[in-house]
Amino acid sequence: MITTSVAIERHQSPECAGPRLCRDHLISLVERVAPMLGLTHGATHIFRIMASLTRPRDWTTAGGDPCCYAAQVELARVAGISTATLRRHEAGLVAAGLVGKRVAANGSRSGRHGCGIFFGPTIRRAAEFQSRLDDLEALRHQHASLRGLRSIHKRHLNGAIAAMAAVGHPSASHYAQVIDEWPDAGQLHRMDISELAAHVEAADNSSREAVRIVENIENSSVRPLNYERPYIQDTTQEKSLSCSVTHMRMDAGLPAQDSLDSDASDDAPQCREKNDVGGAVACKSDFLARLGPQRLYELAGDGFQMYLDARSDREQLTFHDFVVAAHHVMRDRGINHSAWIEAMELMSEDEAMVCVLIIDAKCSDPAIRIASPGGYMRAMVRARSSDNLNLVGSLIGLSERRRDMTTA
């Protein structure tokens, strides 16, 4: 006579839509979702042991229902635990909906009587588990993206504070106190997504306010003459203005280690945000100073413009706005954050931002095909390392393209 123990999962062929995953893949999948199912490490380990004692073909064959027929005493010996602990772990797996347990009246298990631990429930829930992992991965990337934005806000606010302090502006002490109250890198990692998003929004607002104060200070003073000549003009002299970007480096660029999250896609979540204020002019842009926000906006692609529109009026856009927009565009275009870090090792933040702007503009042009925006970004970094990157020439090309499309 066959009876049930703990819970009943009748020995029936599991329904399965589409290709079935192999045994090792499903074991790995369960191990990754185990914390979401409330499983202990011990229960997950027992799941692996029992699953590994099933026939691999039963996991992939239509109608197959893998079963572990090993006796509890043998399983406990293999796992190095007591039979009481094993029973507790098995009960946890049944309660989590991962396995079905059928035993004989005397508690024995055998293939001849169809008694043992069955893994049909795991197979049936494979799609659910994968969906959970996808959701978790998306949340993880969103968290990393928000931490990356906070890093930008902190860097730019530090730069603005230093610029205000240099001229004795009274707001310097206020914003220094604001940034001193921000959570550190470790606290950021422990925040839930809603709490982090609220903090990043507040940090963004503070950074924008401070950057605009610095811009007002600069606008009220006499600018050097070299700021009066734009890099790109709507004249026939455009091509004569092309020059290597190496001759107009901006001093605001910070080393890559001041950035956050070495790779958002690979999700290396070690936040290496620093508290120093090494980038005294990290809120300034040479490109923006020479071109003006309106002109640079006009050269940007649809995605870049969308994020800029959401932030401010075109005439009031700051370098901070353009860098934040670049951060969002990189995410949308599938450009790994590691590409940004590589760029920051060789060029200023200003130049890295313009690289993203150029890529997005090209991707927005139906006449231009860029198979891999991330690969294109890395190619620009390589060109910079060999001193062959001509961002000004690329911007002039975008300007000519815009004019041709307008007159066509």
Check pLDDT > 50 for residue 232.
no
Question: Model confidence at 384, in pLDDT bands (50, 70, 90)?
Answer: very high
Contact 102, 8 (CB under 8 A): yes
pLDDT for residue 222 = 53
Question: Model confidence at 74, in pLDDT bands (50, 70, 90)?
Answer: very high
pLDDT for residue 4 = 38
Question: Model confidence at 114, in pLDDT bands (50, 70, 90)?
Answer: confident
Nearest to 361 by CA among 285, 269, 299: 299
pLDDT for residue 234 = 41
- Segment (H or E) for 100: strand 100-104
The predicted model gives 148-165 an average pLDDT of 94
Tell me the longest C-alpha to C-alpha distance in the chain: 97
Residues of the chain by 3-state class (helix, strand, coil), percent to 5: 60, 5, 35
Q: Please give the Cα distance from 304 to 299 (Å, whole number).
A: 10
Contact 72, 119 (CB under 8 A): no
**55-67 residue pLDDT tens:** 999 999 888 899 9
Q: Please give the Cα distance from 288 to 286 (Å, whole number).
A: 5
Contact 133, 257 (CB under 8 A): no
| DSSP β-bridge partners for residue 103 | 3
Contact 124, 59 (CB under 8 A): no
pLDDT for residue 258 = 34
Question: Model confidence at 110, in pLDDT bands (50, 70, 90)?
Answer: confident
| DSSP β-bridge partners for residue 115 | 110
Domains in the chain: boundaries: 2-124, 229-250+285-408
Contact 283, 319 (CB under 8 A): yes
Nearest to 295 by CA among 212, 384, 219, 403: 403
pLDDT for residue 217 = 87
pLDDT for residue 19 = 57
Which residues are CB-contacts of 197 (< 8 A; sequence separation ≥ 6)?
146
pLDDT for residue 250 = 34
pLDDT for residue 151 = 94
pLDDT for residue 113 = 72
Check pLDDT > 70 for residue 177.
yes
**237-287 residue pLDDT tens:** 343 333 333 333 333 333 333 333 333 333 333 344 544 333 444 556 778
pLDDT for residue 369 = 85
Q: Is 30 exposed, middle or buried (0-12, 13-18, 19+ CB in 10 A)?
A: buried
**pTM exceeds 0.75, yes or no:** no
Check pLDDT > 70 for residue 358.
yes
pLDDT for residue 5 = 38
The predicted model gives 168-192 an average pLDDT of 95
Average model confidence (pLDDT) across the chain: 81
Contact 327, 354 (CB under 8 A): no
Nearest to 326 by CA among 272, 380, 366: 380
Domain 2-124 has CATH 3.40.50: no
pLDDT for residue 283 = 58
